[in-house]
Amino acid sequence: MPSIPTLWKAETNDGKRLRTRDEIDDKYKWDLEAIYPSESDWQKDADKLEELLQQFAGLQGKIGESSESLLNALKLHDEVGKVSGKLYVFAKMKLDEDTSNSRAQALQDKAFGLLVKTESVTAFLVPEILTIDDDKLEAMVKENKDLQLYEFSLQEITRQKEHVLSENEEQLLASFGEILNAPSEIYQMYNNADMVFPTIKDEDGDEVEITHGLFSQLLESKDRTVRKNAFEAVYQTYEKHRNTVAAMYGANVKRGVVSARVRNFESARQASLESDNIPVSVYDNLIEAVHDFLPSLHKYLRLRSRVLGLPDLQMYDLYTPMVQDIDWKVPYDEAKETVLSAIKVLGDDYRSIAEKGLNSGWVDVYENKGKRSGAYSWGTYGTHPYMLLNYHDSLDNVFTLAHELGHSMHSYFSKKTQPYVYSGYTIFVAEVASTCNEALLLDYLLKRTDDKAKRAYLLNHQLETIRGTLYRQTMFAEFEKMAHAHVEEGGALTPEWLDETYYDLCKQFFAAGCHVNDEIAREWMRIPHFYTPFYVYKYATGISAALALSRRILTEGDPAVKDYLGFLSSGSSDYSINLLRRAGVDMESPQPVRSALEQFDSMVDELDGLLS
């Protein structure tokens, strides 16, 4: 096995620093040259996009003339989408490598400008389609065999007819794209490039600079002083910027509220869910179910308090492993092989594609100075999937690898199987494949772990996954619901309102088993997903669906695998609810969420037995 590069490189005898990107071995970086070998190649596609947009602009006023003209417009729209998506994905990922790189910033700005121009130039398409009489549109589809490919897409357009503006209004709104997206862009630059945290002493007494990627690792430390110092350092740093961040977040919420009103939605939440054709009741049922099972969370917190010997359990004690004598370090190359073994239950084809991807430039593995925090899977039509990680040698990061690989395989199969128009998938199902991979990894490890302490460690990990993904994300979802409703009712998102509202939610979720520290009131400031409104609830519904599907795969075998791979290959060719139902789970029912919470409750009891 090749040696693993260390995350830190000594700067002085008594300090450590985060490495720059050029100090990391190329084999642990993704291969963006597979998209564009050089910026000149990127520019060629940018010029091509300008030509395509000019062609598309010439179609204005002609789309409804015949089935052939409609087909030509849809096909050209696909080509525009392919090129503009490729341009933007490359530029954004290039910036994510090092958000302080001014050249990458300039390229991303240019790409985003092209994206806005694309939306503006093509904005007349949907309004023109909606001017076609329903009977005429149906006849056009029937008479033109090639147009039938777009039948479901056209149904989706007409379904949202009442929320589409006039042609001029759509073009005007599209032209404001950069301005409307400004709060999110500003926050990303602030949080990733400008935010600097203090240094603290780690477990070895060495000074380390806290980063987004290192923060979670510090909260897992065995040393309570390290956890406390990291927790206080991060949130006290954010507190210094609370007025600025409140202004950013408030502007982003107002953007969603205004956009929803302009499009005749009852609320920003309805507008967001309508894009996936998800009933608002699914969102409300999720929050209700989680509140019903808060006693299970409180039982887990009391167990954590007892096992750790901390009667005064604090918020910074929630992430350190309860099985303290297990030092389970997993180098990246070992993690890769473990994940590949765990997903073998999904078939040889699935595994071989994943193995090839992990060894051929899909993944950007290690944290470097200026790199975007967190992890994601991305890509576009015509590229293979890409994964950004900030890998540390922890078991949690092995699960992160499995998670992002699940996203990537979902993208791979959808893009391989579906035409461009259906090659993506809705955000509602986006977390299903990733979390299913995590569940399969857990099952694989548990079946090969006889050691009582390690088994307890894995159970603790899964409980933390469900706590973090189902309980925590639902708490986030409830916060978003309250924040948007407050603005819709004429309220202002002041720092005080945001702090108080978030803190009160934390007390509801945690106070029965944990001291809710004052600093946690500022946690809303460090959640990037709040700038993609009403996204986080899908983590909670996603893990519920994934746990149900993984149980079916592990118990039923080939028939369940066939249905699951069919789901991965379906893209957006049908409504998300229907795709999941065919895979074996009904998300319109509250049962998948409640089943996941029941599993959490039973695992708390099992862990209690192991640790008694």
- Catalytic residues, which ones? 404
Q: Which two tokens stand for residue 485?
A: 């409703």
Helix (H, G, I), strand (E, B) or coil at 325: coil
| Separation of alpha carbons 577 and 554, rounded Å | 22
- 8 Å CB contact between 208 and 168: no
The radius of gyration of the chain's CA atoms, rounded to the nearest angstrom, is: 24
- 8 Å CB contact between 416 and 380: no
Q: How does strand 363-364 pair with strand 386-388? A: parallel
Amino acid identity for residue 575 in this structure: Y
- 8 Å CB contact between 587 and 545: yes
Q: Which two tokens stand for residue 154?
A: 């056209």
- Provide the 8-state DSSP code for 467: I
Helix (H, G, I), strand (E, B) or coil at 567: helix
Helix (H, G, I), strand (E, B) or coil at 533: coil
Q: 152-166 burial, b if ≥16 CB within 10 A, otherwise e?
A: ebbeebeebeeebbe
Residue 17 forms beta bridges with which residues? 9
- 8 Å CB contact between 422 and 574: no
Q: How does strand 386-388 pair with strand 376-378? A: antiparallel
Round to the nearest angstrom and report the end-to-end CA distance of the chain. 39
Q: 81-113 burial, b if ≥16 CB within 10 A, otherwise e?
A: bbbbbbbbbbbbbbbbbbbebeebbebbebbbe
Q: How far is CA 282 from the centre of its chain?
A: 19
Rounded to 10 degrees, the C-alpha dihedral 44/359/363/331 comes to -160
Task: Count Cβ atoms below 10 Å from residue 568 Cβ, excluding itself.
Answer: 25
Rounded to 10 degrees, the C-alpha dihedral 289/295/296/300 comes to 140
Q: Which two tokens stand for residue 173?
A: 């709104």
Contact partners, residue 317, CB within 8 Å, separation at least 6: 224, 227, 304, 308, 310, 514
Contact partners, residue 280, CB within 8 Å, separation at least 6: 269, 270, 273
Q: Which two tokens stand for residue 158?
A: 């007409």
- 8 Å CB contact between 611 and 300: no
- 8 Å CB contact between 335 and 398: yes
Report how far apart, in Å, the C-alpha atoms of 194 and of each of 188, 369, 494 are: 9, 12, 23
Q: Which two tokens stand for residue 117?
A: 């121009």
